[in-house]
């Protein structure tokens, strides 16, 4: 009876097992809705670099769907093999994000350069957090609890850009408060995840991620306004694209 009960417990999908498909799908849906006005609806007008970045992000979400399922079905060799793809995929996502930021800064008008330099910071910061979350997941790849949660952190980096775009399209009157709203939702989600993991070893991953996102939220309200960042943004926009 005890064996049967334990086996039944092991078959439960759980938030980080096959049940992760639910939150991964929810984040993907948010991304589609958030990027609908600027990307999906203008699909035929968008440049090749944006299409490449979108394809890489979709591939990453595909991995976030597949990897927990492979663990759940005990296909660990395939899980590890597919995981090695991330060593190319994640750097490519970051590279295309920076490439896009370079193109957009280069095309900025004198009237829009202030906003574009702010967007540049958001892109650079999101790329850095994605890279850090993935790196921590790789460092802790032998610790299932931490590995899974840091991988979840890579998906959480999409909440602010997707939700901010959705709010810009639907409630533009919020203006500067948009970042506060999107980060408020992000911190609410992280708070729920920390509470859900109370007393568990994996909780510390979400504590670390919350600290990283909190630091970035402070920097969002400081760094883009500095003369040093404005100078960097102009230099970045002046770099050749080819």
Tens of pLDDT, residues 115-173: 889 999 999 999 999 999 999 999 999 998 899 899 989 989 989 998 888 888 888 88
Question: Into how many domains does the chain fold?
Answer: 1
Q: Tell me which residue range forms the domain holding 130.
A: 21-238
47 pLDDT band (50/70/90 cuts)?
Answer: confident
Asked, for residue 52, whether it belongs to a domain, the answer is yes
Model-level pTM? 0.85
Predicted confidence at residue 15, as pLDDT, reads 58
Q: How many CA atoms lie within 13 A of 157 on its CB side?
A: 28
Asked, for residue 93, whether it belongs to a domain, the answer is yes
DSSP states of 48-86 as a string? HHHHHHHHHHHHHHHHHHHHHHHHHTT-HHHHHHHHHHH
Output the six-digit token pair for 236. 């970045």
Furthest C-alpha separation in the chain? 73
Asked, for residue 100, whether it belongs to a domain, the answer is yes
Asked, for residue 10, whether it belongs to a domain, the answer is no
Asked, for residue 8, whether it belongs to a domain, the answer is no
Asked, for residue 2, whether it belongs to a domain, the answer is no
Predicted confidence at residue 33, as pLDDT, reads 82
Asked, for residue 36, whether it belongs to a domain, the answer is yes
């Amino acid at each position: 009876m005890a064996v049967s009960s334990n086996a039944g417990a092991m078959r439960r999908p759980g938030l980080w097992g096959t049940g992760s498909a639910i939150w991964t799908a929810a984040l993907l849906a948010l991304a589609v809705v958030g990027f609908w006005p600027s990307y999906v609806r203008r699909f035929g007008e968008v440049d090749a670099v944006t299409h490449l970045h979108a394809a890489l992000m979709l591939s990453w979400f595909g991995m976030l769907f597949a990897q927990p399922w492979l663990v759940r079905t005990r296909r660990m060799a395939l899980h590890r093999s597919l995981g090695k793809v991330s060593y190319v995929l994640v750097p490519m996502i970051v590279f295309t994000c920076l490439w896009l930021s370079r193109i957009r800064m280069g095309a900025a008008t004198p009237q829009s350069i202030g906003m574009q330099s702010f967007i540049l910071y958001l892109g650079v910061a999101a790329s850095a957090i994605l890279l850090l979350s993935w790196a921590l997941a790789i460092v802790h790849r032998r610790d299932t609890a931490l590995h899974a949660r840091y991988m979840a952190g890579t998906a959480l980096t999409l909440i602010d850009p997707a939700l901010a775009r959705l709010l810009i399209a639907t409630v533009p009157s919020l203006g500067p408060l948009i970042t506060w709203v999107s980060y408020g939702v992000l911190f609410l989600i992280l708070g729920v995840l920390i509470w859900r993991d109370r007393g568990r070893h994996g909780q510390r991953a979400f504590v670390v991620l919350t600290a990283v996102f909190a630091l970035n939220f402070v920097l969002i309200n400081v760094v883009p306004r500095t003369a040093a960042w404005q100078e960097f943004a102009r230099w970045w926009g002046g770099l050749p694209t080819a």
